[in-house]
Amino acid sequence: MLEALIEPLQYGFMQRSLIVAILVGLLCAVVGSYLMVQRLALLGDAISHSVLPGLAIAFMLGANIFVGAFIAGVLSTMAIAWIRTRSPIKEDAAMGIVFSAFFALGITLITLIQKSNKIDLNHFLFGNILGVTSDEVWNTAFIAAIVLLVVGLLYKELLFYTFDPLGAQAVGLPVNLLNFGLMLLIALTIVASMKAVGVILVLSLLITPGATAYLLVKRLHQVMMLGAAIGIISSISGMYLSYFFNLPSGPAIVLVASGLFVLALLFSPSYGIFTQRHSDSGALLLWREIKQLIR
């Protein structure tokens, strides 16, 4: 068993995939925890869809696609904020408008350049962790180092701001700067994760591991650390599933993360559906849950 897991690692591409899997699992869980506690999961989705045109334009110009994607991600958050503050349109509608427009533009541009270049739209949409180049490994490692450093340095300020923005503003913390910084971290994380899970499924790695950890532990840094462990386990397992069974890597990673979430939902000591009420049998419980849903 162990041999079967180690054997593929003699290939260079598997080593690179493993490094990216670990970095992306860690990074997404840490940054995604901030999205979850601020109820901004949808914003993660919006940014991730919006990076696509930047990526395509960078590819056309021969620039670094990470930089292009990052710029597009930041532009999309600014567009959302602008629509929300300058019109009576609410934030969720603004997100829907902006990210679908960016996404459509991205798909169009990539389809156009796909014909003359050797790139595959599917890899950007759904990830291809087994195909990362060593350049991409370095880019991902660089982004991970920056993001984790910033989170480490600003941990107490970000905790205060995300818990009680008004209280933080009242004592004079630069809340607009903190908020913008958080958006930059999220955009960077999404860009770093593009290759592993793709822009459509990156939301899962941002939210699911943190949400799983939230069912099990009680403090933000614990949510981040346990979430990171869950994210890393998910992305490594997904990578192996992809290798052995020739599955698309992004969906494989997401399915593992989702499976772990379901386990926590059912068996968490404090919130678990099966662990909360001990007296009933499993079948009866399931029936009661269903009845509550349709009540």
Partner 1 sequence: MNTVSWSGDRHWSQMVCDLRDVAGERSALHPTITISKLSAQYRTVEALRDVSCVANSGRLTGIIGPNGAGKSTMLKAMLGLIPVSGGTVLYDAKPLMDQRDRIAYVPQRTQIDWTYPATVWDVVMMGRVRKSGWFRRFSGVSRRIAQDALERVGMSGYCDRPIGQLSGGQQQRVFLARALAQEADIFCFDEPFAGIDQKTQSIIFNIFHELARADKTVIVVNHDLGESITHFDDLILLNTELIAAGSRQQVLTQENLYRAYGGQVGFFAGEAA
Which residue, 98 or 168, has its beta carbon nearer to partner 1?
168
- Here the contacts of 154-160 (C-beta below 8 Å, separation 24 or greater) are 154/178, 154/181, 155/221, 158/34, 158/182, 159/220
CA gap 83, 246 in Å, rounded: 43
The answer to whether the CB of 129 falls within 8 A of the CB of 13 is: no
Q: Is 86 in the site for partner 1 (CB under 8 A)?
A: no
Largest CA distance in the chain: 65
Which residue, 269 or 282, has its beta carbon nearer to partner 1?
269
Q: Is 223 in the site for partner 1 (CB under 8 A)?
A: yes
Which residue, 97 or 154, has its beta carbon nearer to partner 1?
154
The span of 43-51, 57-65, 162-170, 200-208 binding partner 1 (CB under 8 A) equals 162-170
Instruction: Find the binder of partner 1 among 86, 115, 156, 291 (CB under 8 A).
Output: 156
Q: Cβ neighbours of residue 14 under 8 Å, at least 6 residues apart?
A: 8, 130, 243
Tokens read off for 104: 């459509």
Tokens read off for 86: 């300058």
The 19-48 site mask, x for binding partner 1 (CB under 8 A), equals: ------------------x-x---------
Smallest gap, in angstroms, from Cβ of residue 284 to partner 1? 28
Q: Is 173 in the site for partner 1 (CB under 8 A)?
A: yes
- Site residues, partner 1 (CB under 8 A): 37, 39, 153-154, 156-157, 159-160, 162-164, 166-173, 214, 217-220, 222-223
